[in-house]
Amino acid sequence: MTEPKPFVPGWGPVKVIFMACLLGTPMFWACAQQKGVKENTPEIVTPGKQTYTTETVVPGLDIPWGMAFLPGGSMLISEKSGTLIHFKDGKKTNVKDVPEVYFRGQGGLMDLELHPRYAENGWIYLSYSSQEGTGKGGNTAILRAKLEDDRLVDQQLLYKGVPNTTRGPHFGSRLEFGDDGMLYFSIGDRYNRDENPQDVTRDGGKIYRVRDDGTVPDDNPFVNQADAKKAIFSYGHRNPQGMAKHPDTGEIWVHEHGPRGGDEINIVAKGKNYGWPKITYGINYSGTKITDDTALPGMEQPFYYWVPSIAPSGMAFVTSDLYPEWKGNLLVGSLIFQYLERCVIENDKIAYREKLVPDIGRVRNVRQGPDGYIYVAVEGKGIIKIIPN
């Protein structure tokens, strides 16, 4: 995308800054450092010596959002525009009968996740922006289906956020199965921070937890609260576009986009409030304050936050023996700065940050494949494999 000019006839400076943010331009983010907020340490480093090479395994993709590795070595890839690709034996085949997506702004065909017992039951889970229901626009939906002769069959809609809205930002959405067998998923605040994130009677700005068939477990935190959305597991989130299960603790970790500054990593816990927009380390895109508070009673602090924002998307823990120096580390994609970030965790905090594959492009997702290799989805390029030297 062409970088916008600093000033456009008829535009005021505030609108220019706002549009630059929406387009994700280096021009905006270079000036995004806040005053009065100390950036989390440590600083990110770029090693002088590269310990890996890269290989493009699936070329020619536009905005690859989700990846799922099927038994037998093939891969499903979701394109944001609404195409589901089955990549097998070096060839891309478009899967048929994919649900229609509301392709607007940040909405489209998003994440993919296989059932933990996929080999037995064949269930594939998809998140996408859907126009189902009343009202104009769309909201995030969760569906499961099976793949048969490159068609999606036995489709079942498990959850649909309401209300529909024509707003383009903040659909979420990531999927992850927990050790409890439950499906966790995120829906962003749909750019309605004043109403959605702090209200458990409304969808948006939440992490949800359902059984694999979409029914709500009896031990969800708000099942007995009148008018609450029973599937909600935690609230006070902004726009979570990364989710991963910790390989040792089984905890569900998420990261979410902040506004101008204040991207966060949060460890999700039952019924907890993560504060948005009552507390934040970010500010408005215009430079004005959202709140004076970075902490309040009853609201969780992030495990980590970024100032300036990196625009995180995709998240994975390294468990593979192929990367002995990275084992146990957390990988996070950066859309705006166009690298993969390696986070070393020591004593319950991030002790070291490193840029991997710098300037690779807008990293949309990262996954560790069943073969142990790390795969990175890059906008405008495709799926790239990181190969240790």
Alpha carbons 234 and 198: distance in angstroms, whole number: 10
Residue 349: beta bridge partners? 346
| Residue 17 pLDDT level (bands cut at 50, 70, 90) | very low
- Does the pLDDT value for residue 46 go beyond 60? yes
Which residues, 6 or more positions from 102, have their beta carbon under 8 angstroms from its beta carbon? 108, 129, 130, 131, 137, 138
**Per-residue pLDDT averaged across 240-248, rounded?**
98
Please identify every residue annotated as catalytic.
170
- Go through the chain and tell me how many residues it has: 389
Q: Which two tokens stand for residue 316?
A: 């994975």
**Per-residue pLDDT averaged across 282-306, rounded?**
96
- Does the pLDDT value for residue 177 go beyond 50? yes
Alpha carbons 125 and 236: distance in angstroms, whole number: 25
* Cβ atoms of residues 308 and 29 within 8 Å: yes
- Does the pLDDT value for residue 27 go beyond 70? no
Q: Mapping DSSP to helix (H, G, I), strand (E, B) and coil, where does residue 58 land?
A: strand
Q: What is the pLDDT of residues 329-352, one digit of tens each?
A: 999 999 999 999 999 999 999 999
Mean pLDDT of the chain: 91
Q: What is the pLDDT of residues 284-295, one digit of tens each?
A: 999 999 999 999
Q: What is the pLDDT of residues 89-120, one digit of tens each?
A: 999 999 999 999 999 999 999 999 999 999 99
Confidence (pLDDT) at 377: 98
Per the model's pLDDT, the better-predicted residue between 196 and 36 turns out to be: 196
Alpha carbons 269 and 4: distance in angstroms, whole number: 41
Least confident interval from 17-21, 207-211, 254-258: 17-21
Residue 388: beta bridge partners? 52
Over pLDDT 70: what percentage of the chain? 90
- Does the pLDDT value for residue 125 go beyond 70? yes
Confidence (pLDDT) at 41: 79
| Residue 21 pLDDT level (bands cut at 50, 70, 90) | very low
- Does the pLDDT value for residue 5 go beyond 60? no
CA angle in degrees (0–180, nearest 5) for 332-384-130: 65
Residue 64: beta bridge partners? 79
Count CA within 13 A, CB hemisphere, residue 173.
37
* Cβ atoms of residues 116 and 61 within 8 Å: no
- Does the pLDDT value for residue 32 go beyond 50? no
**Per-residue pLDDT averaged across 159-186, rounded?**
97
Confidence (pLDDT) at 59: 98
- Does the pLDDT value for residue 38 go beyond 90? no
Q: What is the pLDDT of residues 316-331, one digit of tens each?
A: 999 999 999 999 999 9
Q: For residue 286, which amino acid is it?
A: S
* Cβ atoms of residues 230 and 222 within 8 Å: yes
Q: Mapping DSSP to helix (H, G, I), strand (E, B) and coil, where does residue 279 land?
A: coil
**In 246-362, at which residue ranges do the beta strands (DSSP E only) sit?**
252-256, 263-267, 304-306, 312-317, 330-334, 339-346, 349-356
Q: Taking Cα atoms as reference points, which of 131, 61, 51 lies closest to residue 379?
A: 61
Q: What is the pLDDT of residues 201-230, one digit of tens each?
A: 999 999 999 999 999 999 999 999 999 999
| Residue 248 pLDDT level (bands cut at 50, 70, 90) | very high
Strand 91-94 to strand 84-88: parallel, antiparallel, or no bridges (unpaired)?
A: antiparallel
Confidence (pLDDT) at 288: 96
**Domains annotated on the chain, with CATH:** 51-64+311-389 (no CATH), 96-307 (2.120.10.30)
Q: Which two tokens stand for residue 218?
A: 């009896």
Q: What is the pLDDT of residues 131-156, one digit of tens each?
A: 999 899 999 999 999 999 999 999 99
- Does the pLDDT value for residue 7 go beyond 90? no
Confidence (pLDDT) at 257: 98
Q: What is the CA radius of gyration of the chain?
A: 20
Cβ-based neighbour number of residue 136 at 10 Å: 9
Alpha carbons 242 and 313: distance in angstroms, whole number: 6
* Cβ atoms of residues 378 and 386 within 8 Å: no
Confidence (pLDDT) at 252: 98
